[in-house]
A and B are shown apart, each in its own frame.
Chain A
Amino acid sequence: MNVERIKGLKFHKKQDVAIVGAGITTFKRRLNETGKELSYYAAKQALDEAGLSIKDVDMVVMGSAPDAFDGVHMKGEYLLDGSGGSDKPYMRVFVGGGTGVFAPIAGYWHVASGLADVCLVVCEEKMSSCYPHPQSAFKYIWDPILERPLKPNLIWIFALEMRRYMYVNNIKHEDIALVSVKNKANALDHPSAQLAARITVEDVLNSEPMALPVRRLDVSPPSDGASAIMMVASHIARQLTDEPVWVNGVGWALDTTWWTNRDLYFPRYVAEAARMAYKMAHITNPRKEVDVAEPYDPFDYKELHHMEGLGLAKKGEAHILTREGITARDGDLPICPSGGLLGVGNPIAATMGVKVAEIYWQLAYRAGKRQVAKEVTTGIAQAWGDLMQIGTVMVLSNKR
């Protein structure tokens, strides 16, 4: 059959989408609350900030990573009551670590399409339930025939990617460790933080080896936690606040699952996702047009890797921006002002609270002590996951 080829993506939206509230629980290695209770805390806080009640919510999106962490199959359904989805259209989305930005992207579809005027997005993770260690759950993401017999730990793929990134761009571990130093210090100002600390590059380089080049302080911790955001149509936003934060672009892309068949030095998946989001948001020069960013930083090198994928730095040059202080909270391009996953914690999907929610608070000038020094108009949040293959990107702005 002959069909007319559609060149590029088309972005016809029914209505503009704004974020008007966000919520986050504390992030800790182990919390007593059930996943439902954590979801409730975060959702309630987002509703309160927006000045809405659960009865105002049309639809609910839940984001949560593999069921193996919480140890509850049909986790989406299990979390329904705590996330306010009872008696409503409700869906769960999941793309591994990319979920923290993918769940709000799904919320965006709901509102932009006109299906909903008010959509609550809740993300939850309770990794501490999983024994002998949360990392044990990752044994089952590997190919059961070609990879699992080698007894891999999840850290391996990141170590392999980090080594390749360092080799191709000739980057030293010292340069990468600066990211961990910066983010853990930024997290001192985040009330949810699990691993906020003042550390030095030497601390990182001398920390316990896990899978070299990855050492203990290069890595974010497993965490329990939840987060939520309120996404509404423009006519609702107008009634709630004078300063909504608009979602101007969304993008996501996946690279092949045959991860040993591609060069790992550059995150093509992030570059493709960013291309889609920038096109939608009419951004042509991200380095100039983006004021603040929260790229996904489960490992220190990942922040740099993702900055390059997002076009915030040239290939192999992100570490120079870090070294020169440009990515500090008072720098020209603040990166991970929240403290990121390295400092605040990594409850996989719930990292929405330090990515999308943080950019929302920054652009609404509500980040308090974490507020970046420069004037901000446009910010981006990005997450990444699966077998180093998905990039998820959201462009936010306090101007439409």
Chain B
Amino acid sequence: MKMDMDMDVNIKKNYPSYVRGREIKAEDIEEGRVSYNLHKPNIIYSFTAGQAISKFLNGLKEGKLLATECYSCNRTLFPPRIFCEVCFRPIDKWCEVKDSGVVETFSISYIDPDAKPLEKPIIVAVISIDGASPKMGIMHILGEVEPEDVYIGMRVRAVWKPESEREGSITDIMYWKPAEGD
């Protein structure tokens, strides 16, 4: 009880004592009730993939997943890089890893990148790759499976585009499908 009384003495004015800012609605802009300026710039970038990822993308075209190995920490790095960020030294070797793996975590997405609803939800997962060091994974899409059947620890395998349609892009793998018993 004593503490409560002390508290009353201690509590001073409610801060912040006022807050400013005039809220407006989307309609205020649409109907021109507040003045504004609209700008739609046309900005295009060309992202170079660099040494490691170029080789990785070329590997995808051939239906292979390429990784790199660091002899210092003995990790097999996937996606591959030309330096080990832990040992901070150049990479020793290229190697091939399997096009199968394990679902580490997943989500069922109902929205597109602009937060608009998707017609059909998609399943996205982090998949750790067989043959790479533990927890070395990538983010990709799951297919040929219902959302309620996906679980953490599920084994999955890559489903590739036909070779003629591959273009050296991460989407050369269309999705990953359950691989129980493979």
Contact = CB atoms under 8 A, between A and B. Distances in A.
Q: Touch between A and B in complex, CB under 8 Å?
A: yes
Interface of A: 22-33, 38, 41, 45, 49, 71, 132-133, 135-136, 138-139, 144-147, 149-153, 155-156, 159-161, 163-164, 167, 191-192, 208-214, 224-225, 256, 258, 260-264, 361, 364-371, 373, 375
B16 A45 contact: yes
Nearest to B127: A260
Contact of B22 (A33, A161, A258): A33
Interface in B11-63: 11-16, 18-26, 28-29, 34, 39, 45, 47, 49, 53, 57
Pairs of residues from A and B, 5 with the lowest C-beta to C-beta distance, nearest first: A368-B14, A159-B107, A26-B21, A164-B105, A211-B109
Contact of B109 (A33, A145, A155, A373): A155
Contact of B124 (A150, A261, A371, A373): A150
Most chain A CB inside 10 Å of its own CB: which residue of B23, B29, B169:
B23
B85 to A, nearest CB: 6
A209 B108 contact: yes
B92 interface: no
Most chain A CB inside 10 Å of its own CB: which residue of B19, B45, B77:
B19
A132 B112 CA distance: 12
B152 A150 contact: no
B84 to A, nearest CB: 11
A132 to B, nearest CB: 5
B92 to A, nearest CB: 18
Nearest to A160: B105
A25 B170 contact: no
Contacts of A209: 108, 110, 121
Nearest to B16: A24
Contacts of A258: 79, 85
Contacts, number: 190
A152 B139 contact: yes
B160 interface: no
Contacts of B49: 145
B22 A31 contact: yes
A264 B21 contact: no
Contacts of B26: 30
How large, as a class, is the contact surface on chain B?
35 or more
Contacts of B24: 30-32
A260 B137 contact: yes
Given A146-B138, A149-B169, A261-B137, A135 B14 contact: no
B105 to A, nearest CB: 4
B21 A149 contact: no
Nearest to B26: A30
B109 A153 contact: yes
Interface of B: 3, 6-7, 10-16, 18-26, 28-29, 34, 39, 45, 47, 49, 53, 57, 77-79, 85, 104-116, 121, 124-126, 135-141, 147, 152, 169-171
B96 to A, nearest CB: 18
Given A210-B110, A260-B126, A146 B53 contact: yes
B11 A368 contact: yes
B14 A263 contact: no
Given A49-B15, A145-B49, A214-B107, A261 B21 contact: no
Nearest to B10: A365
Contacts of A151: 112-113
A153 B115 contact: yes
B22 A32 contact: yes
11 contacts: A28-B21, A32-B23, A133-B115, A138-B113, A145-B47, A156-B124, A159-B109, A159-B124, A211-B110, A213-B107, A367-B15
B87 to A, nearest CB: 13
Contact of A366 (B13, B19, B85): B13
A373 B4 CA distance: 8
A113 B152 CA distance: 49
Contact of A210 (B22, B111, B136): B111
Nearest to A158: B107
Contact of B170 (A149, A160, A366): A149
Contacts of A373: 7
A135 B21 contact: no
Contacts of B79: 146, 258
